[in-house]
Amino acid sequence: MNLPELALSGDQIDELALRRPSAATLQLLRVGQAARRRLLLLALRTELADRGAAEAFALLARAAGAAPAEVEELVTRPLAGAAAVRALRTPKEAGYVRALAAAAAIRAGLRFSIDVPDTDGSLFLPGVGTARDLHCRTARVTGDLGAFSVGCPHRTAPGAGSRWSPHRFLTLGDDPSWRIDLEDHDPDRACFDHRPAEPLGADAVEALQSHLNKAWRLIAADHPGYALVVRTCLRAVVPLADPEQSGDGERAAGASSSLAFGSVALSRMPDPHATALMVMHELQHNLLDAAFDLADFTEEPARELHHAPWRLDPRPVRSLLQGVHAHAAVTDYWAVRWRHDGSPGSGFEFAFWREVTTAAIGTLRRSAELTPAGRRLVRGMWRATEDWWRADPSPELAAAARQVTTADAVRWRLRNRGTAPDLPESLKDSLLRGERCPVLPPPIVQQADPEPARHTRIGAAVRRSALRGAPSEDGDELDTWRATVAADPDDEEAWAALAHQLTLRGRGPAATALIERPEIVRAVLLAGRADPAATEHRDPVRIAAWVAEGDDQVGDTPDSAQYYR
């Protein structure tokens, strides 16, 4: 039998780039993900062939024959991919397949009995519910025409009662409404790389449903293109534990997983607007993850590492492409909100996300690791930025967003770039001899542990001032930060503040070098501090001006975080 090939057309890639996927494109992505989950289940059947899984697969086949739609829903539910991958990585037993078969048989109304390993005294049956306080390591699930029980020789949890938690749904929208799974028991909800919340109480479920419905109404009213994505693709929500509080104020978390298309993970959100923003953002991750299964956008092996302004660690091209696609949704959200309320807060957020997302797309345009499909996707995203630049918030807010972006980029470059071992000493010697700075080699970006970004202290101060409509809090402190950097060249925050002070006086050569190649300026400064003959060459601003004289690439580095329209 010849199976149809699933692939994205050029026009469909353009739709994704413009963040306007049609119903047909969304359906193709859903079909692709459903096929992927079936293939994972088939791989699991092959892997478990000699591990006692035949009984489970036979029961699953019986259920599929009796109720194909019910079983299809279970096999292709959002977290089924994560469950299958975990089972493939730990194939010592057929626990997931047995639980899936039992759930399918219950949903199909079969008469059956099957033993299923439990975990820590509980047993999760996908799409059915969770039995708790079981006594043995193996539970027996029995069913008869829809009625069922879960237990062992010592204890039984019928499909009702205090030791049984039924699977729950949330209802979204109206005219028509649709149901999504509330996944607060599934053991595979940890696939989002965030700590999942404990199962929700009734009040928390009601609050979550209310928030999601208000968020849906905001999306439907203000973002019709994104509303189609939500209505077509959102099938499950996973509650996350609240992240730790920090000095920046209230925090919320959202996540998606390439193993769980159709789901978003959310901590408690401060308001429906934040929920709407997070859902829009995470579903864009969903879409591009699904698109990667149908088209090759990047070349392998990946070697390039780039600046993603929303991360402190360097990102490979695939990850940067993912981040750009999702943060374009953030920019779209703030563009509409700013047009609606005209507030300084909305104006700054729009200006900031426009700045960093456009810059990141510019970085992708220079990548050598994009396939033809990837280049087409990036070209479309670049064209889409034109809408963002047709109307500006106030010049003050736009300037503040640029200043924050610049300060954050200086810290990133200091943290993630290195130099060849002999370069600092060679440059220091050239400086001492009064020579022109030689042409600098390209930046060397180093691998780092994953870490989300946060604003530098100077960036946060600029943002606060902009939102108040007040003068910047930092004042005229050029000499202070110059002395701080000279005394402690490892202080990344001081370098960011020094670069900011220089840009307030105009982006001259020294400011440009401090922004674009701060790792070089710092390396020369450190080499000079170690040389008694270089006492007159320990001024970071003078060193930056010297570096700028000899570097034709200053202002156009491959990961430039600044895009000037």
Which tokens sit at 228?
């189609």
Please report the pLDDT score of residue 246 as a whole number.
Answer: 52
CA 367 and chain centroid, separation: 20
Q: For residue 126, give the nearest of 241, 218, 41 by alpha carbon.
A: 41
Please report the pLDDT score of residue 154 as a whole number.
Answer: 66
Please report the pLDDT score of residue 556 as a whole number.
Answer: 41
Cα(60)–Cα(67) distance, integer angstroms: 10
pLDDT in tens, 459-506: 999 999 998 876 665 567 899 999 999 999 999 999 999 999 999 988
Task: Note the pTM of the prediction, 2 decimals.
Answer: 0.93
Pick the range with the lowest mean pLDDT from 115-124, 170-179, 336-345, 553-562.
553-562
Cα(549)–Cα(220) distance, integer angstroms: 53
Per the CB < 8 A criterion, the answer to whether 123 and 99 are in contact is yes
Half-sphere exposure of 552 (CA within 13 A, CB side): 2
Tell me the mean pLDDT in the region 327-340.
97
Please report the pLDDT score of residue 4 as a whole number.
Answer: 67
pLDDT above 70: percentage of residues in the chain: 92
Tell me the mean pLDDT in the region 280-308.
97
Please report the pLDDT score of residue 475 as a whole number.
Answer: 64
DSSP secondary structure string for all residues of 315-381: B-HHHHHHHHHHHHHHHHHHHHHHHHH--HHHHHHHHHHHHHHHHHHHHHHT-S-B-HHHHHHHHHH
pLDDT in tens, 499-516: 999 999 887 999 999 999
Alpha carbon distances (Å) from 415 to 367, 408, 488: 22, 11, 15
Please report the pLDDT score of residue 152 as a whole number.
Answer: 76
Please report the pLDDT score of residue 373 as a whole number.
Answer: 98
pLDDT in tens, 365-396: 999 999 999 999 999 999 999 999 998 899 99
pLDDT in tens, 20-57: 999 999 999 999 999 999 999 999 999 988 777 899 99
Cα(373)–Cα(367) distance, integer angstroms: 13
90 versus 464: the higher-pLDDT residue is 464
Cα(385)–Cα(206) distance, integer angstroms: 38
| Domain locations along the chain | 49-166, 185-392, 397-552
562: confidence class by pLDDT, cuts 50, 70, 90: very low
Please report the pLDDT score of residue 251 as a whole number.
Answer: 75
Tell me the mean pLDDT in the region 60-75.
97
Per the CB < 8 A criterion, the answer to whether 296 and 272 are in contact is no
Per the CB < 8 A criterion, the answer to whether 283 and 276 are in contact is no
Q: Residue 313: phi, psi to the nearest 5?
A: -100, 150
